[in-house]
């Protein structure tokens, strides 16, 4: 560091720390510093929460849904020969496994209580990895969809719906078909009723998902819909790297020959949701940056008051050889000092708060309202870097006007200043 730069830092610290300018100057300096601290702290915590919410939601979606979906267009919107299609799909590079599914909406009836759920018929292949991570979500029971000890077909239910209906593993529940209704002897439409045994309950962490979904063997849903043969609603595909799902989906689409097959990766299926979260994160960052902007006006006020109170000293220093550039550097250093101390303190406080919120789950959420049951916080290096950069840039820009004012003072006029 050159001697002139050291002189600039010395004068900057002296002007900000000396009380000869009055208590008001010291007070405004602390207000400016506090504004930067509060702004940076708020940005760190809020952006960490937004990032954590995105990652939490992404993890839950990837855990409970396939990475790629293969569907077929047509009158029935069903896959007519799913095993043949599945052989083509699993032959592609980076495809780990594939499994058929068939969806229908049914009612669950028990002791006068009725709930409607989406019932997924799935096929479990013990020789291949599962398409989803639902096994990790099991709360009780096992993953088998084979008939239970009672000989009844089995159903796995989300923990929320099981709790609402007071169902436990081993209990029986009546499944009411809401599609493929039969005509009764008097011409009325009558649903098909079947008894099922609850084989397992699962918890994904998403309340609505655990309230509205159930799983059974694909043959059971085929029976409910009166379908025969190798008919499925589509294929769920698991890939080696979820972030390469779009490229794998394109390879699968080409292998199947395109139409009438639709191949959608999870990134496209949930594109609107993640775009909304990204936009919300940007908007929150922009709004909270206004706190630092307000602090910047305090920095301007502080430095302007320094110029007013130190006009004679500046004039004397200029008469002794202090150049215009030295004066400009001195006042810019003051803004940098306030910005750096405020940014460092804000980062320290923000990171500490973020750690405490995540570590001790200080802010629980009602699972019935939100898709998460706690406030997640994830801090990324890139977020910390841009927050620190924005804070320093605003603090630096705030010094331009007072620094130019100080550097433009004429020595003779400044010395005469009262």
Q: Do 38 and 153 lie in a common domain?
A: no
What are 211's two structure tokens?
């309230």
Which is more confident, 11 or 239? 239
CA dist., res. 384 & res. 391, Å (int): 11
Last residue of a domain, one of 202, 223, 258: 258
pLDDT category of residue 119 using cuts at 50, 70 and 90:
very high
The predicted-structure confidence for 34-49, as pLDDT tens digits, reads as follows 888 888 998 899 888 8
Last residue of a domain, one of 258, 293, 321: 258
Q: Do 246 and 102 lie in a common domain?
A: yes
pLDDT of res. 371: 63
User: Is residue 264 one of the residues assigned to a domain?
Assistant: no
User: Is residue 117 one of the residues assigned to a domain?
Assistant: yes
pLDDT at 263 over 70: yes
User: Is residue 153 one of the residues assigned to a domain?
Assistant: yes
Q: Do 342 and 252 lie in a common domain?
A: no
Q: What's the half-sphere exposure (Cβ side, CA atoms, 13 Å) at 218?
A: 19
pLDDT of res. 118: 92
pLDDT category of residue 385 using cuts at 50, 70 and 90:
very high
User: Is residue 66 one of the residues assigned to a domain?
Assistant: no
pLDDT category of residue 183 using cuts at 50, 70 and 90:
low
Highest mean pLDDT among 64-78, 246-260, 289-303, 329-343: 246-260
The predicted-structure confidence for 220-236, as pLDDT tens digits, reads as follows 988 888 887 788 888 88
* H or E stretch covering 202: strand 193-202
Q: How many structural domains are present in the chain?
A: 2
What residues contact 208, with CB distance under 8 A and at least 6 apart? 160, 371
Q: Do 135 and 238 lie in a common domain?
A: yes
Q: Do 212 and 85 lie in a common domain?
A: yes
User: Is residue 85 one of the residues assigned to a domain?
Assistant: yes
| Structural domain boundaries, residue 215 | 74-258
Q: Do 219 and 244 lie in a common domain?
A: yes
Q: Do 392 and 301 lie in a common domain?
A: yes
CA dist., res. 394 & res. 383, Å (int): 17
Q: Do 316 and 340 lie in a common domain?
A: yes
The predicted-structure confidence for 143-166, as pLDDT tens digits, reads as follows 667 776 778 899 999 888 998 999
pLDDT of res. 344: 94
At what angle are helices 381-397 and 23-64 packed, to 10 degrees? Answer: 150
Three-state secondary-structure class, residue 84: helix
Three-state secondary-structure class, residue 149: coil
What are 122's two structure tokens?
């799935």
Q: Do 237 and 383 lie in a common domain?
A: no
* C-alpha distances in Å from residue 3, one per residue of 134, 155, 228: 66, 79, 89
Q: Do 126 and 26 lie in a common domain?
A: no
- Residue pair 167/195 in contact (Cβ under 8 Å)? The answer is no
Q: Do 230 and 135 lie in a common domain?
A: yes
CA dist., res. 130 & res. 101, Å (int): 13
User: Is residue 268 one of the residues assigned to a domain?
Assistant: no
Which is more confident, 339 or 347? 347
Q: Do 54 and 102 lie in a common domain?
A: no
What does the DSSP assignment read for 353-409? HHHHHHHHT-SB--TTTSS-SB------HHHHHHHHHHHHHHHHHTTHHHHHHHHT-
Q: CA-based angle 403:406:409, to the nearest 5?
A: 150
């Amino acid at each position: 560091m050159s001697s002139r730069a050291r002189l600039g830092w010395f004068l900057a610290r002296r002007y900000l720390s000396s009380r000869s300018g009055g208590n008001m100057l010291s007070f405004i300096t602390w207000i400016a510093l506090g504004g930067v601290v509060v702004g940076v702290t708020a940005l760190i915590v809020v952006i960490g929460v937004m990032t954590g919410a995105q990652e939490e939601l992404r993890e839950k979606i990837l855990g409970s849904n396939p990475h790629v979906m293969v569907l077929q267009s047509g009158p029935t919107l069903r896959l007519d020969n799913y095993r043949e299609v599945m052989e083509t799909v699993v032959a592609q590079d980076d495809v780990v496994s594939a499994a058929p599914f068939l969806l229908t909406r049914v009612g669950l009836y028990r002791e006068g209580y009725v709930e409607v759920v989406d019932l997924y018929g799935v096929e479990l292949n013990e020789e291949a990895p599962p398409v989803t991570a639902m096994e990790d979500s099991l709360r009780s029971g096992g993953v088998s969809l084979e008939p239970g000890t009672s000989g009844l077909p089995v159903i796995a239910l989300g923990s929320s719906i099981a709790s609402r209906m007071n169902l436990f593993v081993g209990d029986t529940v009546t499944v009411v078909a809401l599609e493929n209704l039969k005509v009764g002897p008097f011409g009325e439409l009558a649903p098909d009723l079947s008894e099922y045994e609850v084989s397992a309950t699962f918890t994904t962490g998403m309340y609505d998902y655990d309230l509205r979904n159930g799983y059974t063997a694909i043959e059971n849903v085929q029976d409910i819909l009166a379908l025969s043969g190798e008919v499925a609603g589509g294929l769920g595909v698991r890939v080696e790297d979820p972030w390469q799902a779009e490229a794998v989906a394109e390879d699968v689409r080409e292998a199947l020959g395109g139409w009438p097959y639709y191949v959608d990766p999870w990134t496209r299926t949930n594109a609107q949701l993640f775009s909304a979260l990204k936009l919300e994160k940007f908007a929150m960052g922009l709004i909270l940056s206004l706190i630092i902007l307000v602090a910047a006006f305090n920095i301007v006020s502080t430095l302007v008051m320094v110029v007013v109170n130190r006009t004679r000293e500046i004039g004397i220093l200029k008469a002794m050889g202090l150049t215009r550039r030295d004066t400009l550097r001195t006042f810019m250093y003051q803004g940098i000092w306030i910005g750096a101390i405020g940014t460092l303190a804000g980062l320290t406080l923000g990171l500490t708060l973020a750690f405490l919120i995540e570590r001790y789950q200080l802010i629980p959420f009602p699972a019935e309202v939100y898709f998460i049951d706690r406030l997640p916080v994830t801090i990324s290096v890139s977020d910390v870097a841009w927050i620190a950069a924005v804070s320093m840039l605003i603090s630096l820009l705030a010094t331009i006007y007072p620094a130019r004012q100080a550097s433009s003072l004429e020595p003779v006029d400044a010395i005469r200043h009262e």
